[in-house]
Amino acid sequence: MAEFSTGDRRRKPKGDRRSTEISLVIRQTMEASILTHLMPHSQIDIFVQVLQADGDLNYIEDSAGGVDVTVDILAKMDKVTLLQMDAKLPMDTFETVMDLATEGCKAIATYIREVLLENTKQLECQRG
């Protein structure tokens, strides 16, 4: 992560806990998303530089004692590629949380797709 990406400005060792966890989550998500069987004997290198990492809970939200749930989906396929929870939830609550998380993931995917398409169209017009 870039040093300026979080509120904590101290220089962290290369293998700090948060970076290691983020690296593992990205790896698991990519392994579930990429069809590696179509590219045997190939190597895929993914490099990520986190420029802003303040999307986490603030102190008030974190101290409220709720469950932290991280969800990643392949939006077009409705396939969950990552689900992490730090505590148990009743099944009816879990289903509601998953529905909301899935809707949120799809909304973000749609927004990103629209922005990328618009930027691509602008680049195409500039290049003629």
Confirm whether pTM is higher than 0.85: no
> Which DSSP string do the residues of 51-82 spell out, in sequence order?
S----S--HHHHHTTPPPEEEEEETTTTEEEE
For the stretch 80-97, pLDDT in tens is: 988 988 889 899 999 999
pLDDT of residue 68: 83
Domain ranges of the chain: 1-56, 57-128
pLDDT of residue 19: 80
